[in-house]
Structure 1
Amino acid sequence: MRIPSMRHATALAMLFGAALPLHAADTTSGAFNPLETFAPFVYPHASNAMRDASGKPGPLFWQNRADYTIQASLDPVARKLTGSETITYTNHSPDALDVIWLQVEQNRYTKDARGAFGDGKFPTEFTDGEHIRSVEVEDASGHRQKAQWIVSDTRMQVILPAPLKARDGKLKLHIAWDYTVPGEFGGRTDWNANKQGDIFEMAQWYPRVCVYDDLRGWDTQPFLNSEFYLEYGNFDYRITVPSDMIVVGSGELLNPQDVLTKTEIKRLDQARHSDATVMIRTAAEVTDPASRPKQGGTLTWHFAIRNARDAVFGASRAYIWDAARINLPGGKTALAMSAYPVESAGDKAWGVATQDLKKSVEFFSKTYFPYPYPVAINEAGTAGGMEYPGITFDHKKAAGPILRMLIAHEIGHTWFPMIVGSNERRDAWMDEGFNTFVDVYEAEAFDGGKYAPKRDSEYAPGKGTPAEQIAALLKDPDAPPPMTYADAVKEKYRHPITYFKTAFGLVLLREQIIGPERFDPAFRRYIATWAYKHPSPSDFFRFMDSETGEDLNWFWRGWFEHNWQFDMSVDKVAPAAGGWKNGADITVSNHDKLVLPNTMELTYADGSKRDVRVPVETWMQHTSYAVHVDGAQPVTSVELDPKHELPDEDRGNDTITVK
């Protein structure tokens, strides 16, 4: 999703150290109650034959499908998009369906839209919304007839002449529509002016089928501001524009011979075999009529993308266009492209965008799951930062480290939620938070880490390490937990909670709680298992429990279901019975509802140091505990979490000096 700002902070490192034999010394504690913290976690969704107890699709798993064939024409003078589409809808569910629900999200721009009664910031420009001209239903025998439909805000219900049969029933919807393109991006469609022509960024531009799933039936949340929940399918679409415009869209261009010059086709072929960026259309050629295959009239651009959940495009006569090869696992390749106006050119700005995109896709593909589409595109406009299958809309004024970060984050959304298709409109943390998490490691790998370390937060910019910022956030009684209905999260908390807290929690899981050697393969298997499917929060929780071999109920509850705080203290350091020659007894306490594994750093009289790990299980029956550490010399000080990697709410009780 669009990112207003980002900040860099200290990277987290994995702490290891053996926990030595322990003995208990219980005392009373404040808010911490072991029976509450370690109570059985109630998963939001029950396991069954659809979604099993291991967090995997079960033997009766099904998922419906929507394939699209679309024709649309853009009139840039009237700023109007007119189109028609055929949706081939397949019902794999065990239910017969008497209606089909669709999203018609340009209605977000009408004055009476439900979303207009939210924070009041969007939109500032209103339109008449999405105009549905006709709807027809074609059954499996090819019989086609007009259908009744009802528009309710940003949704449309099509009433079927006869129920669509369960288990592989199929029909076609034929819909004709149009709308006026607004000059503001909030609804994911906009136009913006540039020296050499307007740029049109076209998303949420066609009626799209809502998801029908095993969790809720039709998932018909209106579009307020949060993002998407969409079925997978194949997209075949044609965009007709004036001949002097360039179109970049999701997937592969199928008719370059019709819309490109011979020179541009040759350059594109060169780019497919080049790690260096190849100019397809230079700044000088933008104003040269010879850069287009014909003058006057229109051209139709034909694209296709397979196994995707959406398709979008950008169009402008102002685009500079460049490309380079992406190297994927197994010897496969794809093509990285950037399209941007002359105002955005230059080696400190969009002139390096394709190389930034190429490196990011190569990292994510090698580390998590291979990039699945033939092309990855950066498009420059006013969208700020917005992701779609095969293409991202990034801000044309972004440059330097900000542009690099933006490109990495938006193309990172290919994995969450374009491949792993979580419900962004309900569970935004599974989209933005997971993507921010993988961004952390992409930043460390990019060009040897020259832009690392990376962390995101807007809650307390510039104030402390990531752990300290999270600790401050957890103290805020108004902050919602990550598992909050996405549109109910106020803008003040959207980025800190949905992005940053979720990502920080996954870093804690990987680096502090589980360890990379178990977390990494489990996380990769989660992506592969749920690729092109719709996992719920319960599926993720169960999958990670099962695959890592950990019962993480205490963490799912404390970190994602609640914003519980963490406060651990070191209370006493004393020589063991018989003196320092027999070691030390160190009393530690847990004071708040969250528990985390922690590290004690012991400093000895000779200046040497030793780390001792205190596991989470310490607190299952105790609020205070004496840790015995073998040794032969006096301990002069003990510090908890010496690298400040945990969100401890009170660091004043983390250190004790032995007098």
Structure 2
Amino acid sequence: MKALALCMAGALALATTLAAATDAPRYDPLQTFAPFTYPDPVNAYRSGDGKPGPLFWQNRADYTIEATLDPASRLLTGRETITYTNHSPNALDVLWLQLDQNRYKPDARGAFTSEFPTEFTQGYRIASVEVDDGSGQLKPVKWGVSDTRMQLRLPEAVKPKGGTVRVHIAWSFTVPGEFGGRMDVNASRNGDIFEIAQWYPRLCVYDDLRGWDTAPYLNSEFYLEYGDFDYKVTVPSDMIVAGSGELLNPQDVLTPTQIKRLDEARHSDRTVMIRTPAEVTQPSSRPKQGGTLTWHFRMRNTRDVAFGASRAYVWDAARINLPHGKTALAMSVYPVESEWSRATEFLKASVEYFSKEWFPYPWPVAINEAGTAGGMEYPGITFDHKRAKGKSLHMLIAHEIGHTWFPMIVGSNERRDAWMDEGFNTFVDIYEDEAFNHGEFAPKRDGEYAPGGGNPADEIAKVIADPQAPALLNGADMTPENYRHPISYFKGAFGLVLLREQILGPERFDDAFRKYIATWAFRHPSPSDFFRFMESEAGEDLGWFWRGWYQHNWTFDMAVRKVEPVDGDWSHGAAVTVANLDRLVLPNTLRLTYDDGSAKDVRVPVETWQQHREYVVRVAGSRKVVSATLDPAHVLPEADRANDLLKVK
């Protein structure tokens, strides 16, 4: 009997313990506020304040390219010279290049990771690879291709700290059809539209973080060196080419009327037609009939160039007003069936807003190009869907040109850290949407920001509660397609909204974020650089936020446990017991509502939870409290709003 009684008592105690454990908060202050380990260490190249260190270096790649497009066969043939400068402290006996067109081969690694492309090609056909070490003589190079990468085994190593080598490559490939991923050829009423991107062999980045960064091109985007581009594109004379950078020979490829209209557009805030819909089918809208024309472009200090080409383009343009009295040119090219009459207006407004708020647009021209690459960004040009119109067109244009700042100016590694590309850009889009034409299309509630179309805080709470959802610091190629927008875009953007509006405040955040952009403009920051920079400039230890929001998908759940008068008398104020129930912490607003209808807000900082799981907040007052509410504006990603409100009986 005694043994049975002891067993029953033990079982009862165990059951009580299990019940208590089930009801107990998951929150552990020692876990949430443990010292944060940054992904990359501090060294002489990257400093503890998130800025380039005293020995920071970055290599450079300048390109001269001549290409010819044959629309009938869809063959693009080119020759390029890459001048590569090695600023690193190491001699380089090999070079690695990206061959993104090999992604379209049936045996490509990327063919086994996603459903597109719908049409396979042979990828690159490399005709020759030679190097010039500076003596003027070209030497053949041993080279090997591995999926979407090519290694060049140099006859002589490129010297460190300023050594250069010139690489000459001849190549060709067949332009993939609709939809080929990030480039394609697609039909329109008056002719095919070619959207040409990732079209020339490009240097991989060699940096202080990984050496050669040779992540294969599966579907995630880019990591490229900066340099100057001088490129020529030869097409049939009836085609218009819209390319990244500045057109250097308008007298060769445009009519006198078009040149005059372009000059007018450079001085006009209203959209000026360069080639009207009626003129698209008129031979007189081209400077010559038959044969070919060569379009010559130049773009400085950029990591890439792209272009569109078609005989079907309508073309319009307007002036962009930039800070300090500078200007640029906004242009749109699109088929007659597109409802794009406001496209240049949208582009102009977006560039002006981003330039004023964050960093001036650095290039002379910004272009919208219409096709079927639903929304894709390259320096100086974006490919936007030709069927987009109205609000969706504004959203699309603002988002794609917003990529100018992330990652075209701030050159983060999209191939690994998609949230520093899509998340940052979606974040700045939110405020552009509110600003455009006095909020004509606001608020921004689209598939990139609030996928369910509801309150963003409630929508993101659903995302991070999903046990299958990857964390932001997860590699871009390891993020499943169904989580790409919810995590990289939505969670990435919402994290910055929290940082700006709830944690730091707009004044501290905006100042630090602008300095971050200016400091890392045309450079390659890592996630650690961003984390350290924002902490140092804003003056806040944010390790708890980096861990909970970026390293993990920790959920947030605060609750009001009890409301009672201090010392039993409401005239002495109220004592409100609040609890943090889950692993994420955030500053919160506690609102007390009194019996006369008035209310008082009290800010509960994150430091409250460094040593507590529950805390009694004492609020001065003289009237009876009828209710206490946490997060009354619903701006935080609460997992359970039911426990945010407690009514006093």
The whole-number CA distance in structure 2 between the counterparts of 1:195 and 1:606 is 68
The aligned counterpart of 2:147 is 153
Aligned counterpart for 1:607 among listed residues 593, 597, 602 = 597
The whole-number CA distance in structure 2 between the counterparts of 1:431 and 1:29 is 39
Asked whether 1:630 is paired with 2:620, we answer: yes
**Paired residue secondary structure (1:636):** strand
Aligned counterpart for 1:394 among listed residues 384, 401, 404 = 384
Q: 1:472 to 1:559 in 2, by over 3 A?
A: same
Conserved 8 A contact 1:455-1:500: no
The aligned counterpart of 2:10 is none
Alignment of structure 1 residues 445-594 onto 2, 5 Å: 445-457=435-447, 461-462=451-452, 464-577=454-567, 579-594=569-584
Aligned counterpart for 2:285 among listed residues 269, 272, 291 = 291
Aligned counterpart for 2:72 among listed residues 74, 77, 84 = 77
Conserved 8 A contact 1:522-1:544: yes
The whole-number CA distance in structure 2 between the counterparts of 1:588 and 1:393 is 50
Q: 1:48 to 1:365 in 2, by over 3 A?
A: same
Conserved 8 A contact 2:449-2:456: no
**Paired residue secondary structure (2:118):** coil
- How many angstroms does 1:577 deviate by? 1.3
Conserved 8 A contact 1:106-1:187: no
**Paired residue secondary structure (1:557):** helix
Alignment of structure 1 residues 279-428 onto 2, 5 Å: 279-344=273-338, 349-428=339-418
- How many angstroms does 1:185 deviate by? 3.7
Alignment of structure 1 residues 237-252 onto 2, 5 Å: 237-252=231-246
Conserved 8 A contact 1:437-1:506: yes
Asked whether 1:656 is paired with 2:632, we answer: no
The whole-number CA distance in structure 2 between the counterparts of 1:59 and 1:426 is 26
- How many angstroms does 1:217 deviate by? 0.3
The whole-number CA distance in structure 2 between the counterparts of 1:219 and 1:181 is 26
Identity of aligned residues (%): 72
Q: Using CA pairs under 8 Å that are at least 6 residues apart, name the structure with larger relative contact order, 1 or 2.
A: 1
Asked whether 1:64 is paired with 2:54, we answer: no
> Which residue identity is paired with 2:588?
N
- How many angstroms does 1:105 deviate by? 0.8
**Paired residue secondary structure (1:339):** strand
Conserved 8 A contact 1:55-1:541: yes
Conserved 8 A contact 1:187-1:204: no
- How many angstroms does 1:475 deviate by? 1.0
> Which residue identity is paired with 1:398?
A
The whole-number CA distance in structure 2 between the counterparts of 1:378 and 1:49 is 41
The whole-number CA distance in structure 2 between the counterparts of 1:654 and 1:246 is 60
The aligned counterpart of 2:12 is none
The whole-number CA distance in structure 2 between the counterparts of 1:278 and 1:471 is 46
Aligned counterpart for 2:35 among listed residues 28, 40, 44 = 40
Q: 1:429 to 1:458 in 2, by over 3 A?
A: closer
Aligned positions, number: 628
Greater Cα shift, 133-142 or 218-227: 133-142
> Which residue identity is paired with 1:560?
Y
> Which residue identity is paired with 2:535?
D
The whole-number CA distance in structure 1 between the counterparts of 2:344 and 2:597 is 51
- How many angstroms does 1:457 deviate by? 4.1
The aligned counterpart of 2:248 is 254
**Paired residue secondary structure (1:342):** coil
Structure 2 unmatched ranges of 5 or more: 1-22
The aligned counterpart of 1:100 is 95
The whole-number CA distance in structure 2 between the counterparts of 1:258 and 1:458 is 42
The whole-number CA distance in structure 2 between the counterparts of 1:322 and 1:200 is 19
The whole-number CA distance in structure 1 between the counterparts of 2:450 and 2:504 is 28
The whole-number CA distance in structure 1 between the counterparts of 2:589 and 2:220 is 39
The aligned counterpart of 1:3 is none
Asked whether 1:235 is paired with 2:225, we answer: no
Greater Cα shift, 420-429 or 448-457: 448-457
The whole-number CA distance in structure 2 between the counterparts of 1:537 and 1:331 is 34
Asked whether 1:144 is paired with 2:138, we answer: yes
Structure 1 unmatched ranges of 5 or more: 1-27
- How many angstroms does 1:143 deviate by? 2.9
Larger radius of gyration: 2
TM-score if structure 1 supplies the norm length?
0.94
**Paired residue secondary structure (2:342):** helix
Q: Deviations over 1:467-494 (max 9, x none)?
A: 1111111110000011111011111110
- How many angstroms does 1:29 deviate by? 4.0
The whole-number CA distance in structure 2 between the counterparts of 1:243 and 1:526 is 45
Conserved 8 A contact 2:98-2:202: yes
> Which residue identity is paired with 1:316?
S
